Amino acid sequence: MKTYLIGTKVSVSAAAFFAAFVLLAVPVQAEDLNAVYQQGRAAFYQGEFEKAQQLLGRVAAANPKHPDTVRMLAYIRANHKPAENTLKNQYSAVVLPKVEMNDVTLAEAMEGLRALSKNASAGKVTPNVIIKGEEVGQRKLSLALSNIPLSEALNYVTQLTGTKATYDKHAVILSSTADTITSTAESAPKGSK
């Protein structure tokens, strides 16, 4: 009979523990879900749509009929396009500690920026720059900059050499601004200036 009483006490204790766990777990989950919703809502109103979509998506998974969550997620899907990992964004993320070039050609400057970028990004980013025209590649420049993103260094180079940088999917194309003006004038409709 003692065995029977011991077994009853153990099963009553286990049942009490399980009930307490279930009762405590439900409010904690609801409270965490509310905190996630509040963080997602704050991110939404601050314009951090990617973060808001991630947080509100967790809320929607637990409660797909929550009206504010549904409304905010619908707005994000309709109006916000995720940031693309474009070449310009990639080049903006690389900060060159020091750029010093004195009386170099544009082609030499690009080789220097490639080497500096590769070092600054630990080999992850090596800019792909195409120079259109041999004459353009021979233009001279001098440059002294520090702690500057690669994209800004390219902007300075284009300004100093009278060139235009066009970001393509896989490369930056440097061409003469005179080529741009000529092609614009040629493509204008007849009778317009």
Write out pLDDT tens, residues 126-163. 999 999 999 999 999 999 999 999 999 999 999 999 99
What does the alpha-carbon distance between residue 142 and residue 161 come to, in Å, rounded to a whole number? 10
> Which of the four pLDDT bands, split at 50, 70 and 90, describes residue 99?
very high
pLDDT tens for residues 22-58? Answer: 444 444 355 588 999 999 999 999 988 989 998 999 9
CB 86 within 8 A of CB 167: yes
Distance from C-alpha of 180 to C-alpha of 164, rounded to nearest angstrom: 8
Q: Are 114 and 126 in contact (CB under 8 A)?
A: yes
pTM: 0.52
